[in-house]
Structure 1
Amino acid sequence: TDTDSRGHNFTLKATFDDIDFNNYDGLVIPGGQSPEYLAMDASVVELVRKFSDSKKPVAATCHGLLVLAAADSIRGRKCTGFPPVRLVLVAAGAHRVETEAASSCVVDGDIVSGVTYEGNPEFISHFVKALGGNITGSDRRILFLCRDFLKDYKITVPFQSLQALGCHINAVCPKRKPVISAPLLSMILKGTKPTPGSQLHPSVIAVVKQILAAAGVLQGKKCTAYPAVKLNVILSGATWLEPDPIDSCFTDRNLVAAAGW
Structure 2
Amino acid sequence: MAHTILMITGDYTEDYETMVPFQALAACGFTVHAVCPDKAAGDTCPTAIHDFEGDQTYSEKRGHTFTLNATFAEVNPADYDGLVLPGGRAPEYLRLNPAVLDMVRHFFEADKPVAAICHGAQILTAAGVLDGRICSAYPACAPEVRRAGGQYAEIAVDDAVTDGKLVTAPAWPAHPAWLRQFMALFP
Instruction: Give the shorter-chain TM-score range.
Output: 0.5 to 0.7
Cα distance in 1 for residues equivalent to 2:66 and 2:58: 23
In the TM superposition, structure 1's runs of 4+ consecutive aligned residues that sit over 2 Å from their partners are 1-6
Cα distance in 1 for residues equivalent to 2:157 and 2:85: 17
Higher strand share: 2
Return closer, same or farther for 1:3/1:106 CA change in 2, 3 Å cut-off.
closer
| 1:87 matches 2:87 | no
Match of 1:7 in 2: 63
What secondary structure is seen at the aligned counterpart in 1 of 2:107?
A: helix
Match of 2:179 in 1: 124
| 1:37 matches 2:105 | no
| 1:107 matches 2:162 | yes
Structure 1 unaligned spans of 5+: 133-261
How far is the alpha carbon of 1:10 from its aligned partner? 2.0
The amino acid across from 2:135 in the alignment is C
Match of 1:27 in 2: 83
How far is the alpha carbon of 1:4 from its aligned partner? 4.2
Return closer, same or farther for 1:18/1:104 CA change in 2, 3 Å cut-off.
same
What secondary structure is seen at the aligned counterpart in 2 of 1:107?
A: strand
What is the percentage of aligned positions where both structures have the same residue?
39
Length-normalised TM-score, structure 2: 0.67
Larger CA Rg, structure 1 vs 2: 1
Cα distance in 1 for residues equivalent to 2:125 and 2:179: 21
Let me know the Cα RMSD of the aligned residues: 1.6
The amino acid across from 2:133 in the alignment is R
Structure 2 unaligned spans of 5+: 1-56
Cα distance in 2 for residues equivalent to 1:17 and 1:75: 29
How far is the alpha carbon of 1:90 from its aligned partner? 0.2
What secondary structure is seen at the aligned counterpart in 2 of 1:126?
A: helix
Return closer, same or farther for 1:76/1:15 CA change in 2, 3 Å cut-off.
same
